[in-house]
Structure 1
Amino acid sequence: MAQTFLQSARRAQLVDAAIHALADLGAEQASLVRIAERAGVSRGVVNYHFPGGRRELFEAAVDSIYDLGRQEVHPDTLSAQSPRDSVASFVRGSIMFYARCPRHLRALTALYTSRTEDSLRRDEREEHAAEMMTTAGLLRDGQVAGQMREFDVTLMALTIRAVLDTAVGLTAAGAEPEALADELVRTIDAATRVIP
């Protein structure tokens, strides 16, 4: 049992080092040697815990970032009083997550924009597909509840994702997150709500 705990702790340490390296150096320069240096271990330790190399480690880093995002955003989104409030909570919570965890978002961006042979593609990730399905489901629920107008929920979910992708860059450039969240919540609400 202690060995399993120690292995999990070491893997978590290496994932954290990978996130830092990706954020600071980019995917092209975040070699296993540099990640090992940041973790204070040898490359052999990295290879032992991630025998699939950089790609396996990078996938674990993405998993960790999405897990953190879910912890930050999902509770308020799921406990909101209505589908319309859930969408607003998802948008606001996402932007607050971007502001609280800029290094994680830089690492994710580095991975998704890299063109190395072991880089990752967001559209191939189950987490991304699940997020898109959840967003479309909230929009559909809003239509069924009569809170949202008729529109293509898949297209609107993609639109919300594009708006949030822009918010990542704006937040990183120093935009005030509360003001940005307020504006984007109002914009998305105006685009989706039923107009009396």
Structure 2
Amino acid sequence: MRPGSRPHGQRKHTFIEEARRAQIVSAAIDTIAEVGFANASLSRIAQRAGVSKGVISYHFSGKDELMDQVVEQVYSAIAEFVLPRIAEAPDECAALRAHVLAVADYMRGHREQLMALAGIFNGTRTSEGTSSRHRLMVAEPVYQEIEKRLRAGQERGVLRDFDVRVMAVTLQASIDGMFAYWVTHPDHDLEAHAAELAEIIERSARADPPA
């Protein structure tokens, strides 16, 4: 360990340290969105943040830990935006529609964040092409949260009988695909795409009305 450095995660960060970490994370997001994950070196991120590379090394053990923090921060921000809208839905079927539409709303206002997230996921794939640990880090909690709502809807008779893991994976993959297409086709009507996707998901999950 370098002189003057400290072990990461061994004590609570001070307010000033948290502010500096947030500044670095924000710079990392902007840098990855602009130049891609592979070209987003710590030196380049430091330049964007207006600090030395040593400052980043003081707050983060390396690029991996910094990317962990970027992923965690972006997903936390998405959850803070999306979950209240889902909670307002009258039932679990309507919640599926609310989920898709809310994520699309978030996408429109936070394109750089999500481009950075995609850059991290794609840039850290293994040589065998399997998902990066950053994606795996967040995927399972997302699936489990969706599954919980799906089971509740099935128990109440709002949703038909289906494999909740398959539906959770399908929903998340469809949302990821919507964003990926929008990024490569900036003129694509994201609002219309989200509305159509929400209709497809809702219809596929809704329980048949009693005969």
TM-score normalised by the chain length of structure 1: 0.91
**Of 160, 169, 172, which aligns to 2:171?**
160
Which residue of the partner structure matches residue 9 of structure 2?
none
Alignment: residue pair count: 191
Q: CA offset at residue 181 of structure 1?
A: 1.6
**Of 172, 177, 182, which aligns to 2:195?**
182
Structure 1 position 124 matched with structure 2 position 136: yes
C-alpha distance in structure 2 between counterparts of 1:116 and 1:81, whole Å: 39
Q: CA offset at residue 123 of structure 1?
A: 4.4
Query: Which of these two proteins has the greater Rg computed from alpha carbons?
Result: 2
Q: CA offset at residue 182 of structure 1?
A: 1.1
Shift of the 92–116 alpha-carbon distance from structure 1 to 2, 3 Å rule, reads closer
C-alpha distance in structure 2 between counterparts of 1:158 and 1:69, whole Å: 18
> Contact 1:139/1:148 (CA < 8 Å) preserved in 2?
yes
C-alpha distance in structure 1 between counterparts of 2:24 and 2:195, whole Å: 36
Which residue of the partner structure matches residue 106 of structure 1?
115
Q: After the TM superposition, list the runs of 4 or more consecutive aligned residues in structure 1 that deviate by more than 6 angstroms.
A: none
- Cα RMSD after superposing both structures: 1.8
Question: Residue 14 of structure 2: SS of its match in structure 1?
Answer: helix
Shift of the 29–44 alpha-carbon distance from structure 1 to 2, 3 Å rule, reads same
**Of 65, 69, 74, which aligns to 1:60?**
69
For residue 176 of structure 1, what is the amino acid of its counterpart? D
> What CA deviation, in whole Å up to 9, does each residue of 1:108-133 have, x standing for no partner?
1111111478x9434420x3211111
Which residue of the partner structure matches residue 204 of structure 2?
191
Write the mapping of 1:1-196 to structure 2, written as runs, cut at 5 A.
4-50=14-60, 52-115=61-124, 120-125=132-137, 127-172=138-183, 173-174=185-186, 175-196=188-209
C-alpha distance in structure 1 between counterparts of 2:180 and 2:122, whole Å: 13
Structure 2 residues not aligned, in runs of 5+:
1-12
Shift of the 115–12 alpha-carbon distance from structure 1 to 2, 3 Å rule, reads closer
Structure 1 residues not aligned, in runs of 5+:
none
